[in-house]
Amino acid sequence: EVHLVESGGALVQPGGSLRLSCAASGFTFSTHRMNWVRQAPGKGLEWVSYISSSGSTIYYADSVRGRFTISRDNAKNSLYLQVNSLRAEDTAVYYCARYVADSGDYSDFWGQGTLVTVSS
């Protein structure tokens, strides 16, 4: 059974940093692309970042480019999101999601999310 567990969310001051983690199990992590998607309180889903299976291809949403860094460690079955220069508008639940790219591109399994709150 596919299992994704996020961690690392916390209350942080504006300008601060965090490292979010996503532990994957139940599938061959090294052969799957992955995404981070966030959801601000009471708002819709917002895609944050994508990473290919090897880590060689990475994309970011315009709202986070230059501040957030996605990475992965296939030996540890783990996905990461380094979030820097945090702003109030980055407050959200951050989900990691397994990404499938066949005839379409979609996320077939999601973790339960980790909450990042940016406030002074």
Q: Which of 21, 47, 82, 91 binds other proteins (CB under 8 A)?
A: 47
Q: Do 72 and 34 meet the contact criterion of CB atoms below 8 Å apart?
A: yes
Q: Which residues contact 77 (CB under 8 A, 6 or more apart)?
A: 23, 24, 25, 29, 30
- Count of C-beta atoms within a 10 Å radius of residue 77: 16
Residue 75 CB, nearest distance to other proteins (Å)? 26
Residue closer to other proteins by CB (options 11, 101) is 101
Residue closer to other proteins by CB (options 17, 47) is 47
Residue closer to other proteins by CB (options 73, 105) is 105
- Count of C-beta atoms within a 10 Å radius of residue 39: 15
Q: Which of 17, 54, 85, 112 binds other proteins (CB under 8 A)?
A: 112
Binding flag, residue 103, other proteins (CB under 8 A):
yes
Residue 27 CB, nearest distance to other proteins (Å)? 14
Q: Which of 14, 15, 26, 59 binds other proteins (CB under 8 A)?
A: 59
Q: Which residues contact 69 (CB under 8 A, 6 or more apart)?
A: 81, 82, 84
Q: Give residue 51's Cα distance to chain centre.
A: 10
Binding flag, residue 41, other proteins (CB under 8 A):
no
